[in-house]
Structure 1
């Protein structure tokens, strides 16, 4: 007999679960008696105020239990995990951001661990309010399923997705299946971590040689600030809580730039904070040509994995943040269909660049892109670093 069995009124057992349980114990309880784990969560949520240290602690414990249930394959575990994430998890406004992250985490674990038929049973009632947390967790589930190429063509799921579109849920804008340009999302290749140094950049991507014409063209570039567009471009890094605020800048040229002159000699003439002090440290700045799928994958990864001191946002929202950034870099309006945006991305010229400056520390993650539009007269720059500026 298990001495930790939870029974009504058994305060000692409940305290044991929410104060001292290790992951193996929670997993065992989820596999054998998921209804008791759900009961513990309900009791804890009733007792917690939702605000202050007690609420924060309760949210963390409830989240851990919900994630354990989501990660345990069974229809009951899936049902209880969604109920916790959608009904019990919001314990107070002070923990709203953490509750949202946990909902996304629960959705991601459910999609990986559960049978599709058991998840489909969770979508029987169509939503009428996208502000409802129960609707939010199901929207995340649909978003995670789309990244796995699952769920489309099932009437119940299709009807729920269509209602989300009608209600204007942001995730409902995304395609119900992964696009070809998204093929690298959440795929890690052994031996290929983040690009940290110019040498690594040069080893993976074709370098663009400097040209005198590029230098001359850089001097003619005029900055065209756009705060709203800059915020959208920076989204993956800000939501992923990277250590430093990304730099996003936009420039316009008086005449079309030859793509062969769009390289490091051009970039170095732009008034970029990330290149401040370039030339005063040992090492040369480099720019290499890349492709749209590489840029989109880096944007997705920034949100999906989060910064060193941040937390990942789950696949569904990371995908949305990546596309919002991609649209902003290309200057596309939101009503352009995603497949059209993917096609237009191929008409742009995309570069990665890196230098030896105080911005590029070469020890965690440094990402810098610049893109030239099809008219060859508009340039966008995005640079982000996950190194603490105080280090």
Structure 2
């Protein structure tokens, strides 16, 4: 077809039904096929432009000096909407990794009446906290939280919590990246139940609501993991921590289904800060990670939901509740898991009242 784009538009909108009714359906279909190809080509071109933009942004963020920072911020303060490669959480992560806080505060605190730097600032605020920067030493940073009132990140503590002692962050250059290695079950704290295990199945029933399920899996979902599931079980009687390792393989959960009495089920008790670290790595890196600031948020949210903290609790209340919870990390050879190295895990939480067991299972393989 030699028609112009205008001709195609007029044909598609005004005469397609008439042509088809006259028996000229082939021309209608030919045009539809051609337009499908054009759409696919345009989409691929858009993806390529986004990849190129992301690389240019990476170069500006990582290259030392005030001029490269000025030019990077210029991309954000244009009137046009920022592109995909200008995702504030991604840029904030790069800036926090490669630049000193003192060099960032001035340029990012300049007056921006349209608020085009607000998202970048609040993400950077939490990226710097994760890197142990004393934000109180930079009073201008306080405004980075205030200008984004109601933003989900404002729920987080404005300091590095005692739970956040094991922060593992990526190491990136202009042309490459080094990401944290995945999780492995530690040798210390192991409480594997003896085999053969009981064949008796637990009568407990999953009571997780949709909202609770989504809250528990929020860390692996944010990290773009292949698959994750959650279960919550209430008990009539208190469950002592030493009963949990033998109880878990008997629960009606897909992540232990088909395991049998002798299949591999390995489990360890772990302190709360190690579970937070596991969830943070899951959320912040993953296949398409949320980066540090939002990875921090979703690690906290998963931890809160697993521990049974009320949904409206503050970060301080969550921390207190989490520290009173008993935490377990497990792996198994059940078919639910893919068991690629470092990419599968299960977390179980026995709540402070010991009448609630919550479980998160995640695999990085689709």
1:304 aligns with 2:284: yes
User: What's 2:351 paired with?
Assistant: 373
User: Deviation of residue 334 (structure 1)?
Assistant: 4.3
Describe the shift of the 1:360–1:342 C-alpha distance in structure 2 as closer, same or farther (beyond 3 A). Answer: same
Describe the shift of the 1:121–1:91 C-alpha distance in structure 2 as closer, same or farther (beyond 3 A). Answer: closer
Could you say what secondary structure the match of 2:247 adopts?
A: helix
**C-alpha offsets along residues 203-248 of structure 1, whole Å, 9 cap, x if unaligned?**
24322545999998x724232121111112111211211122x110
- Of 238, 249, 252, which residue of structure 2 is paired with 1:256? 238
Q: Which piece of structure 1 moves more, 179-188 or 322-331?
A: 179-188
Q: TM-score, normalised by structure 1?
A: 0.72
User: What's 1:221 paired with?
Assistant: 204
Q: How large is the RMSD of aligned CA atoms in angstroms? A: 2.9
How far apart are the structure 1 equivalents of 2:80 and 2:268?
46
User: What's 1:156 paired with?
Assistant: 140
How far apart are the structure 1 equivalents of 2:198 and 2:306?
21
Could you say what secondary structure the match of 2:132 adopts?
A: coil
Could you say what secondary structure the match of 1:381 adopts?
A: strand
**C-alpha offsets along residues 345-364 of structure 1, whole Å, 9 cap, x if unaligned?**
12111111222121233223
1:141 aligns with 2:124: yes
How far apart are the structure 2 equivalents of 1:210 and 1:107?
48
- Of 318, 332, 353, which residue of structure 1 is paired with 2:295? 318
- Of 25, 44, 61, which residue of structure 1 is paired with 2:52? 61
For the 8 Å contact 1:214–1:261, the answer to whether it is kept is: no
- Of 52, 62, 68, which residue of structure 2 is paired with 1:71? 62
User: Deviation of residue 78 (structure 1)?
Assistant: 1.4
Matches within 5 A, 1:1-391: 52-85=43-76, 87=78, 90=81, 98-99=84-85, 102-125=87-110, 134-150=117-133, 151-164=135-148, 167-186=149-168, 193-195=181-183, 201=185, 203-209=187-193, 219-244=202-227, 246-263=228-245, 265-279=246-260, 283-306=263-286, 310-364=287-341, 365-388=343-366
Could you say what secondary structure the match of 1:370 adopts?
A: strand
User: Deviation of residue 173 (structure 1)?
Assistant: 1.8
How far apart are the structure 1 equivalents of 2:198 and 2:321?
24
Q: What runs of 5+ residues in structure 1 fail to find an aligned partner?
A: 1-50, 93-97
Q: What runs of 5+ residues in structure 2 fail to find an aligned partner?
A: 1-41, 171-179
Could you say what secondary structure the match of 2:259 adopts?
A: coil
User: Deviation of residue 119 (structure 1)?
Assistant: 0.9
Pick the structure with greater CA Rg: 2
Describe the shift of the 1:278–1:322 C-alpha distance in structure 2 as closer, same or farther (beyond 3 A). Answer: same
For the 8 Å contact 2:75–2:82, the answer to whether it is kept is: no
Describe the shift of the 1:86–1:54 C-alpha distance in structure 2 as closer, same or farther (beyond 3 A). Answer: farther
User: Deviation of residue 109 (structure 1)?
Assistant: 1.5
How far apart are the structure 2 equivalents of 1:70 and 1:202?
37
How many pairs align?
314
Could you say what secondary structure the match of 1:112 adopts?
A: helix
User: Deviation of residue 327 (structure 1)?
Assistant: 1.1
User: Deviation of residue 141 (structure 1)?
Assistant: 1.2
For the 8 Å contact 1:59–1:89, the answer to whether it is kept is: no
